[in-house]
Structure 1
Amino acid sequence: MKTNPKGAARPPQEPFAVDYGFDDRLLPLAAVIELAGIKKTMIYRLMREGKFPQSCKPGGAATRWSEREVKTWREKVLAERV
């Protein structure tokens, strides 16, 4: 067991558990453009109309989209084609 600066014993720390499954990452605009196949202006227009997943602001000036939501939108668009 390790000791703290005052000499008292402290229990060992568990390592931080990380799940690398990435079942729902937060994607930047460039990745959304590539995944959706449409450009920035159309993405924001469809968001205003409620036809594209809304973005989120995880911190600072960053804007991100849920990968799962964008993929679901793409599947819906493909399913609606004739």
Structure 2
Amino acid sequence: MCADLEFWKLKAVVQKCGLSKTEIYRRIAEGRFPAAHSYGGEGARRFWLSTEIEEWQRQILAGETPTYTPE
């Protein structure tokens, strides 16, 4: 695993990307943003991998259209 890998909560993703919570979830549903992962069973906590968000940012800056499997 990468030493730079971090688990980010939604608040951190909003701050890093400059998108609102609503826009993040809209893009996830459209397959244009990485979906959250979860852990913890029934009371699952959701998080994003920092490496996936950084790759999304790289693609945006490169003028590419990121695509993901919609949730």
Uncovered stretches (5+) of structure 1, i.e. residues with no partner: 1-20
Uncovered stretches (5+) of structure 2, i.e. residues with no partner: 65-71
**TM-score after normalising by structure 1:** 0.67
Higher normalized helix content (fraction of residues): 2
CA-based RMSD = 1.7
Higher normalized strand content (fraction of residues): 1
Runs (4 or more) in structure 1 with deviation over 4 Å come to none
Q: Which has the larger radius of gyration?
A: 1
Identity value in percent: 36
**TM-score after normalising by structure 2:** 0.76
Give the number of equivalent residue pairs. 61
Structure scoring higher RCO (CA < 8 A, sep ≥ 6) equals: 2
CA deviation profile, 1:7-43 (whole Å, cap 9, x unmatched)? xxxxxxxxxxxxxx74211100010001111010000
